[in-house]
Amino acid sequence: MNKFPKNFLWGASTSAYQIEGCVEEGGKVTSTMDLYGDKPSYPKGITGFKEASQHYKYWKTDVEMMAKMGLKSYRFSISWPRIIKDENGSVNQEGIKYYNDLIDELLKYKIEPIVTMFHFDIPLFVMKDGGVHSKNFVKHFELYSEVLLKNFGTKINYWLTINELNILVMMADGFEVLEKQDLSKQLKVLHNLNLAQAKAIIKCKEICPNAKIGPAPNIATVYSNTCKPEDYTAKLNVEMIRNWVYLDAVCKGKYSNIFIKFAKKMGIDFEVTKDDLDTLSKGKPDFIAFNYYTTMTAQMPTEESIKETKEKFDQQKGLVIPGFGMAAKNPNLQKTEFGWEIDPVGFKNTLREVYDRYGLPVMITENGIGARDELTNDGKIHDDYRIYYYEQHIRQMAEAISDGVEIIGYMPWSAIDLVSTHEGISKRYGFIYVNRDEFDLKDMKRIEKDSYYWYKNLIEVNGENI
C-alpha cells in the first residue's frame, strides 16, 4: 500500500460557535447560533452554544494539548461576529487580536493553521439585511473575507471558504437560515452562497497570491438502493443536488444543464446572470476540502416510502422529492449510537470520485464518530470504538492514496469535545475530553482520551502502523 506523503497534514478540526463559548466577551456581536439553542425548534434538554467548551478562555491549554498530541495542522473557524461589528463593516480589534494570538501560538508549536472563514454562525446584522436570501450577503461576505485576508494573510497557507455550503442549503431550516424548507428559496440561497464563496476566492488570489484556498462541503458517495433503473436515476439526481452542483459551481464555474433543467421542471426561476457566471469562473479553488461522515442511499419515491419517512431532523436525512429521488436506509452498514451509518469503504470511494471528477488535490476537513463518552473511575476515557472507527477510515484513505488520489491532509472532527450542531455536548467527538455536562459546567477540565494517545502514536509514525 502507498505511504502517506512526508508532509501529510495530520490534524484535527473544530468550529468557533461549537467550541468557543463566552459569546458576550471580546466585543463579539450576536450571531444566529447564539440564539439557536433557545429557539422552539431546538431539541429540549440539551445545551446550546453560549458556554460550549469555553475555548475562548482556555485556548492556550487547548493548543498546548494539541501540540503534545503531535498535530501537524489544526482546522478551526474564525467567528464572523467576533470580527465584524455592524453592517458598515466596522472591525472589532479585540477579535483580530484573539485570532492573531491563537494563530501565533499554533505557529510556535509548528502546527499549520487551516482557517474556515465561515462555519454556520451568521451575524444578526447580516440576517437583518436579508441574510442568505439576499445578494447583500455576497457583499457582506466579501468584505469580511477581505478583512480576514488582510489581517491574517501573511500567516495562513490554507484557507477554507464556507463550511458545508451544501448542508447549509439542504438543511436550511435546521440552521435557522430559512424559516422552512422551500426548494425555490433554497436554490437562491445556493446561488448567493456560491457567489459569496467565489468573491472570497478572488479576494484571496488578489491579497494572498501565495496562499491556497478551497471550498469545504460535505461530500458523500450516493448508492442506488437497488439495481432498478428508476433507483439509479434517483441516485444520479440525488448526487447532483447533494454533491456535484456545489463542486461544479466552484471548480467548473458553472451549473450543469441537467441542474438548470431540473430547476425549470420544478417551476423555479433560477436566475444566473452573465456577471454571476463571470464571478464563478474567476473564483476557482486550488484544492477541494470536504467533510465525510457517511454515504447516502437513494431510491425513487413511491407513495408508501414517502409515508414511512417521517423521521426526526438530522443533517444526513430528510430529502424527499417526488419523481426525482429520496433517501433510503442502507441495510449493509452499521450505525453509530446516534444513528449515523458508518462506511469506511464509502470514504475511499468518495475520495476517488471527487479526485477523478475535478483533478484537484483533496483535504479531509472532518470525519469522526459522535458518542456518549464516559469519564470512568480511573479518570480516563476508554473510547476504543473511536480508535476502531479511525483505524477503518484511515486504512481506506491509505488505499485511496494507493489508488492514485492526491490527499494533502486529514483533520478529523474534533480536536476537543464541543457542542454538536443539535445534540448537545453529550454527543462527543473529541480526542480531548471536556469535563462538563449538558447544563452543569463542572470544572471544564481537559482530559486526554485513549484515542488521543492512539492518534499521537499514528502521527509519530506517519500512519505507517495502519
Within 10 A of 450 (CB to CB), how many other CB atoms are there?
16
CA distance 432 to 69: 10
CA distance 286 to 408: 12
- Identified binder of ligand BGP from the candidate list 218, 225, 294, 396, rule CB under 6 A: 218
Within 10 A of 197 (CB to CB), how many other CB atoms are there?
30
Residue 417 CB, nearest approach to ligand BGP (Å): 11
- Identified binder of ligand BGP from the candidate list 164, 383, 399, 417, rule CB under 6 A: 164
291 belongs to the binding site for ligand BGP (CB under 6 A): yes
Q: In sequence order, which residues have a C-beta less than 8 Å from that of residue 462 and are 6 or more positions away?
A: 3, 4, 6, 8, 10
Q: Which is nearer to ligand BGP, 218 or 350 (CB)?
A: 218
Mark 295-334 with x for binding to ligand BGP (rule: CB under 6 A) and - for no binding. --------------------x-------------------
Among the candidate windows 95-103, 154-162, 268-276, 417-425, which touches ligand BGP by CB under 6 A? 417-425
Q: Which is nearer to ligand BGP, 353 or 366 (CB)?
A: 366
373 belongs to the binding site for ligand BGP (CB under 6 A): no
Amino acid at 153: G
186 belongs to the binding site for ligand BGP (CB under 6 A): no
**Residues 124-163 close enough to bind ligand BGP by CB under 6 A:** 163
Which residue's Cβ has the minimum distance to ligand BGP? 420
Write out the three cell numbers for 366: 472532518
Q: Which is nearer to ligand BGP, 66 or 401 (CB)?
A: 66
Location of C-alpha cell 474556515: 116
Tell me if residue 230 is catalytic: no
Q: Which helix (H) or strand (E) holds 290?
A: strand 288-291
CA distance 55 to 79: 13
Give strand pairing partners of 118. 162
How many helices (H) and strands (E) in the chain? 17, 16
CA distance 61 to 10: 20
Residue 367 CB, nearest approach to ligand BGP (Å): 10
Catalytic residue, from 20, 105, 112, 164: name it: 164
Residues with catalytic function: 164, 366
The footprint of ligand BGP (CB under 6 A) covers 15, 18, 163-164, 167, 218, 291, 315, 366, 370, 413, 420-423, 427
